[in-house]
Amino acid sequence: MKTKMVCSVVVAFALIFSFSNLTLAADKPIKVKLAHVAAPKTFDSAIHAAAVAIKYLLEKRSGGRFEVEIYPAMSLGKEVDTMEALKNNVIQMNLAAMAALFRINLPITVFFSPYIFRNEEVAVEVTNGPFGQQVLDQFTKKTGIKAMGYMSGYTYMAITNNKRPIKTPADMKRLKFRVMDPMGIAMFKSFGATAVPISFKELFTSLQTGVVDGQTNPPFIVAWAKFNECQKYLTMAKSQWGYQVLLANQQWFDGLSPADQKLVKNAVRYGIAASGGLSLFLEDKSLNELSKAGMKINTIAEKDLGQFAEIARPAGLSWAREKMGDAFVDGLIKAIADAEKKLGYR
């Protein structure tokens, strides 16, 4: 009898212990580390705003089961370091910048080709459409990293320099620009300028000392980095559609339950959407601030953009055909035509 009682007690304790472990496992939070390159200022950076919105939505809708920690401003190292951390599941999500993307998968950068979109409406329609999804899917297949969406949080890139105002393509001849992507290199070369790769951390000093004459970045980054202190002129020429891509570690994502995967997808979707409106506000705000600080700003009129596009668009698409293949470029051109027809531009 005593033996049976002892066995019953042991079994009871074992069951209690196992149920306790199951409860602890169920209560254990899902920790997510999310990295990006921008400043940690929610209302001054559409990129950080997207990260904050994703964090808020995931934590709120999961009842706190998800815990998201944001690593802004390249706090984990350069773009290549962050991508390595993502591959190894050291971090789970990354808003990847163009400097990182073109090194590991060229087709994902196809929308950075110069002068392919007539306006923001067409760009969003194409990237959010079937061809945009096709580009994301091929990235996931080729790299093993899950591409979840485009963060086009800063509309078009601005071109700055310290030599002269840019009003025509000829004004860029013989100028040296800091450029980090092949599409930008092809564009500036087509204008008769020189493209020089320089890390962002070294850019201000390089502009200040004349290593390069200018650079290209969205206006809010020009303002945040105080490039107006070493750059006199800023030109809005609708040169390249600025975007980043939200990436996730594939193994981590696949390990989530279907319900949690849906939560992540929705948080990404609405986090990206939340940053879109802010980006337009920030563009206007940044340009006003830069102008008040003494920077000379000019916007190329719609009627005059054709002379830039006639030179740079073929150069960018030619490079893309050579490096990415005809299928991607033809798919892009068709997607743009379909979007323009749908939106009433054709």
Residues 135, 59 share a domain:
yes
Q: Is the pLDDT of residue 14 over 70?
A: no
Of 281, 311, 331, the residue that ends a domain is 281
Q: What is the pLDDT of residue 21?
A: 43
Q: What is the pLDDT of residue 10?
A: 40
The total number of residues written for the chain in this structure: 346
Asked whether residue 224 is domain-assigned, the answer is yes
Asked whether residue 24 is domain-assigned, the answer is no
Task: Tell the burial category of 92 from Cβ atoms under 10 Å away from its Cβ (0-12, 13-18, 19+).
Answer: buried
Asked whether residue 146 is domain-assigned, the answer is yes
Asked whether residue 313 is domain-assigned, the answer is yes
Tokens of 317: 């698409």
Can you list the alpha helix ranges (DSSP code H) found in 88-171? 98-104, 120-127, 130-143
- Contact between 165 and 235 under an 8 Å Cβ cutoff? The reply is yes
Sign of CA dihedral 234, 235, 240, 241: positive
Of 281, 306, 330, the residue that ends a domain is 281
pLDDT band for position 280 (50/70/90)? confident
Residues 270, 296 share a domain:
no
Residues 211, 190 share a domain:
yes
Q: What is the pLDDT of residue 237?
A: 95
Query: Whole domain around residue 184: which residue ranges?
Result: 158-241+285-342
Average pLDDT over residues 237-255: 96
DSSP code of residue 198: -
Asked whether residue 14 is domain-assigned, the answer is no
**Interaxial angle between packed helices 305-324 and 326-342, expressed in degrees from 0 to 180 and rounded to the nearest 10:** 140
**Tens of pLDDT along 121-134?**
999 999 999 999 99
Q: What is the pLDDT of residue 153?
A: 61
Q: Is the pLDDT of residue 23 over 50?
A: no
Asked whether residue 117 is domain-assigned, the answer is yes
Residue 178 parent element (H or E): strand 176-178
Q: What is the pLDDT of residue 200?
A: 85
Place of tokens 């209560």: 27
Average pLDDT over residues 172-189: 96
Average pLDDT over residues 216-226: 92
Residues 173, 96 share a domain:
no
Average pLDDT over residues 199-203: 89
Average pLDDT over residues 320-336: 96
Domain count, the chain: 2
Q: What is the pLDDT of residue 134?
A: 98
Q: What is the CATH number of the domain that holds 72?
A: 3.40.190.170
DSSP code of residue 12: H
- Contact between 182 and 323 under an 8 Å Cβ cutoff? The reply is yes
Tell me the one-letter amino acid at 79.
E
Q: Is the pLDDT of residue 4 over 60?
A: no
- Contact between 259 and 251 under an 8 Å Cβ cutoff? The reply is no
What are the two backbone dihedrals, phi and then psi, of residue 240, each rounded to the nearest 5 degrees? Answer: -135, 140
Residues 165, 263 share a domain:
no
Q: Is the pLDDT of residue 79 over 90?
A: no
Asked whether residue 19 is domain-assigned, the answer is no
Sign of CA dihedral 200, 201, 206, 207: positive
Residues 81, 214 share a domain:
no
pLDDT band for position 26 (50/70/90)? low
DSSP code of residue 211: S
Q: Is the pLDDT of residue 302 over 80?
A: yes
First to last CA, the chain: 90
Residues 87, 231 share a domain:
no
Asked whether residue 1 is domain-assigned, the answer is no
Please state which of the ranges 13-22, 156-165, 337-346 shows the lowest mean pLDDT.
Answer: 13-22
Residues 174, 74 share a domain:
no
Q: What is the pLDDT of residue 136?
A: 98
Sign of CA dihedral 227, 231, 235, 238: negative
b/e map 160-175, b = 16+ CB within 10 Å: bbbbeebeebebbeeb
pLDDT band for position 99 (50/70/90)? confident
Residues 38, 84 share a domain:
yes
Q: What is the pLDDT of residue 19?
A: 40
Tokens of 142: 């080729």
Q: Is the pLDDT of residue 13 over 60?
A: no
Average pLDDT over residues 83-102: 94
Q: Collapsing DSSP states into helix, strand and coil, what is residue 240?
A: coil
Residues 50, 176 share a domain:
no
Residues 232, 207 share a domain:
yes
Residues 320, 235 share a domain:
yes
Task: Tell the burial category of 130 from Cβ atoms under 10 Å away from its Cβ (0-12, 13-18, 19+).
Answer: exposed
